[in-house]
Amino acid sequence: MSILRKRLNEFDDALNAEEIDLINLKRLCFHGIPDEGGLRPLCWKLLLNYLPSTRASWSETLTRKRTLYKTFIEDLIVTPGEANSDGERVDVTLHDHPLNLNPDSKWQTYFKDNEVLLQIDKDVRRLCPDISFFQQGTDYPRKEIVNASGQRRLHHRVQHTVLRSANVERKGLGVTKIAVSVRKATEDYAPLAEGGEAHWEVLERILFLYAKLNPGQGYVQGMNEIVGPIYHAFACDPDQTWREHAEADTFFCFTNLMSEIRDFFIKSLDEAEFGINSMMSKLTTQVKVNDSEVWMRLHQQELCPQYYSFRWLTLLLSQEFPLPDVMRIWDSLFADENRFSFLIHICCAMILLLRDQLLVGDFATNVKLLQNFPSVDIQIVLSKAAALAGKNLNSP
């Protein structure tokens, strides 16, 4: 029996149990989840605590969550004054209107939301530009969105914000001329026509809903890089029934993952126990312990961990490697029972692998090297990281 066949069998056995042994599953996933048979999206759903370990309760959980997601869309993606579903138009002028300055005004919320949306819009259009996936249409557009004559398309809203906010702000100056040009989207990330929807539009909605539901945190740049690989994995599931619900499933898995790494995204928590600064100093300490020469070099050059590892850690390395490698790294990260201590080991391994170059490079060369990590066999990085963690990594 081939090694791959054997691994696939191990996964099948683990996943087909009535009561899935998560410890065993984590052990398997740590060494990498095979790309075959939709194993990765399924395992990630378990590792991210979306699916319960009892198989029998999957269908109830999924139905509940997916219905909930549907209500999020219905409740949170609305335009004030939009036609009611029964076709009757609410007379907003009586109660609420775009120039209403009352903070409870739906229009005020709408405009504030649009600022968040504008940022999300810019970022989802800049996601993984080296692959074409996110620009392509999904097979499962949200019907309630795409058939609403553009009304509920999120990017549609921000095309107008510039115009609308300028309009509101300048009203006191008696400005009468209003630009009527509608912003055109960046060519490549063009939204699809009525009835269709590109993958980046789906991500835009997930991130917007997340920001609405987590107002204390809102949307922070980089979240797009976290949600991207999860959605990609789910939306490429070979099983059509899973694929169809990729959006809702991604939303909940992303939310769960964010609850574990949200401290990285909150400025006021930079100094907290699990904030980004403490992660960076853990990394520095680990480099020092394992290779004092490299540590000394970086220290003398005053090459701070912020210059490179802020991004490594915040984004779980998603900007440092090509997508397939990122997925492989995340298999191990999500399987890490000691949440994200393995992330530090990987980062440390990355630095140690560059030791010879770092020891001769000057400050500028070294910053560049660390910010643009050279392409390597990801297995080498992970094996080294596993060794640092006192573990052994099986080859795939």
Partner 1 sequence: MAKKTYDLLFKLLLIGDSGVGKTCILFRFSDDAFSTTFISTIGIDFKIKTVELRGKKIKLQIWDTAGQERFHTITTSYYRGAMGIMLVYDITNEKTFENIVKWLRNIDEHANEDVEKMILGNKSDMEDKRVVSTERGEAIAREHGIRFMETSAKANINIDRAFSELAEAILEKTHGKEPQDAPDRVTVDRRVERNSNRCC
Ligand X SMILES: Nc1nc2c(ncn2[C@@H]2O[C@H](COP(=O)(O)OP(=O)(O)OP(=O)(O)O)[C@@H](O)[C@H]2O)c(=O)[nH]1
Interacting residues toward ligand X by CB under 6 A = 186, 221
Cβ-based nearer residue to partner 1, 88 or 362: 362
For tokens 């999924």, name the residue: 62
* 353 interface partner picked from ligand X, partner 1, none, CB below 5 to 8 A per type: none
DSSP H helices in the chain: 3-16, 22-30, 39-47, 58-76, 92-95, 106-124, 143-146, 154-169, 199-213, 223-235, 240-244, 246-261, 276-290, 292-300, 309-314, 323-335, 341-353, 355-360, 363-371, 378-388
Q: Which is nearer to ligand X, 225 or 263 (CB)?
A: 225
Q: Residue 82: which of ligand X, partner 1, none does it interact with, CB under 5 to 8 A by kind?
A: none
CB of 85 to partner 1, least distance (A): 34
User: Nearer to partner 1 by C-beta: 236 or 269?
Assistant: 269
In whole angstroms, the minimum distance from the beta carbon of 228 to partner 1 comes to 10
Q: And the tokens for 284?
A: 């520095």
| Least distance (Å) between residue 272 CB and partner 1 | 13
Q: Whose CB is nearest to ligand X?
A: 186
**Residue 255 CB, nearest approach to partner 1 (Å):** 19
From residue 285, how far is each of 267, 282, 294, 345, 360 by CA, in Å? 23, 5, 12, 11, 21
The conformational region for residue 260 under phi > 0 = left, psi -120 to 50 = alpha, else beta, is: alpha
Amino acid making up residue 268: S
- Least separation in angstroms between residue 189's CB and partner 1 is 9
Place of tokens 């987590």: 214
Per CB under 8 A, residues contacting partner 1 are 115, 119, 122-123, 126-130, 162, 165-166, 169, 179, 181, 183, 186-188, 220-222, 224-225, 265-267, 270, 284, 299, 302-307, 310-311, 314-315, 319, 362-364, 367-368, 371
Minimum CB distance to partner 1 smaller for 299 or for 391: 299
Local structure of 194: helix, strand or coil: coil
Task: Output 214 or 221, the one with its CB closest to ligand X.
Answer: 221
